[in-house]
Copies of this chain bind each other. A is one copy, B any other.
């Protein structure tokens, strides 16, 4: 336990500043003026790159590395790219993942009471699982390293290591063991998603999964091929409990999963390593709606709650654990009472949603 926790807040691009401001406002309201968090803002992103040629200043990197946790709005603007065609604004997230070894990207998928799923036959509470996305290797290991030859050919290499697969699979089983949730049939399970039928790297992922699974005999272990899983998350989302997969597949499945619970506006994420954590909503910077005051901040607020939980466990600090619970309950209450933005068929703006949550912090 510490007296004070330094939080590096990076608003980023598009709607990033709006949703980050919402989180700062709620964290301030949660703990009051003498609270345990010190929130300090730092610049990064596509807009900064456009203005200065630098997307992720060294000072911001140092602040993130040295902070107790990092809270991010959103980053990236489609037109602002590096010479190789990839987006400059994504340097922040992607470099932090690799350089701070934030290997576990934890993405809870939950259909909240008060939200209608686009899936016809899903009952409230009928979707409640967690995607554990490997966040430090896989196809993303190729970022910045792929080759392009004379405009004739381009290659990127997918890498899976024993260490990388073992630790993410273990994380998934630990989560399945410790979480109170369970799928509709009451069976705790971890589903390994791969393409082991076609590619060696995924067959390797599966083989390592099977080894680790043997250490957890009380938890059901199953395999799903990525293509079939893309179907199953639509046709039987209630079956899943914890899903573990390679970086690229996790990227795809987590957006798909978010669609089934009402969209990315409700999907938080926690990217954690051994010494640091990055917390941001799963959504992007949505430049089309930026600056209009209509961005949905719930994903970021839920990510801030995940940050408090992570800090609470790491530093054995009950204040933060209690704060996480209050913040999460306030978000759930606001959603259940119909305080929804346009993305969910409601009429509330970012500021109104934020105040509604603050009013329910109790």
Q: Which one of A37-45, A223-231, A291-299, A325-333 is at the B interface? A: A223-231
Q: How many residues of A contact B (CB 8 A)?
A: 68
Q: Which one of A49-57, A156-164, A175-183, A302-310 is at the B interface? A: A156-164
Q: Do the beta carbons of B90 and A200 come within 8 Å of each other? A: no
Q: Do the beta carbons of A155 and B198 come within 8 Å of each other? A: no
Q: Which one of A15-23, A26-34, A124-132, A248-256 is at the B interface? A: A248-256
Within 8 Å by CB of A86, from B153, B196, B234, lies B196
Q: Is A140 an interface residue (CB 8 A)?
A: yes
Inter-chain contacts of A230 with B (CB < 8 A): 230, 252-253, 255-256, 259
Q: Do the beta carbons of A231 and B148 come within 8 Å of each other? A: no
Residue among A117, A153, A235, A260 with max Cβ neighbours from chain B (10 Å): A153
State the Cβ distance, A21 to closest chain B Cβ, in Å. 24
Q: Which one of A58-66, A201-209, A312-320, A347-355 is at the B interface? A: A201-209
Given contacts A161-B153, A206-B85, A231-B259, contact A139 B199 (CB under 8 A): yes
In the complex, chain A residues 108-128 whose Cβ is within 8 Å of any chain B Cβ? 116-121
Q: Do the beta carbons of A148 and B204 come within 8 Å of each other? A: yes
Within 8 Å by CB of A227, from B151, B205, B228, B254, lies B254
Residue of B nearest to A205 (CB): B154
Given contacts A147-B200, A199-B156, A203-B86, contact A235 B252 (CB under 8 A): no
Q: Is A214 an interface residue (CB 8 A)?
A: no
Known: A142-B201, A231-B258. 11 other contacts (CB 8 A): A86-B200, A148-B200, A154-B201, A157-B158, A195-B248, A227-B256, A230-B252, A230-B253, A231-B263, A234-B259, A235-B263
Q: Is A99 an interface residue (CB 8 A)?
A: no
Residue of B nearest to A207 (CB): B85
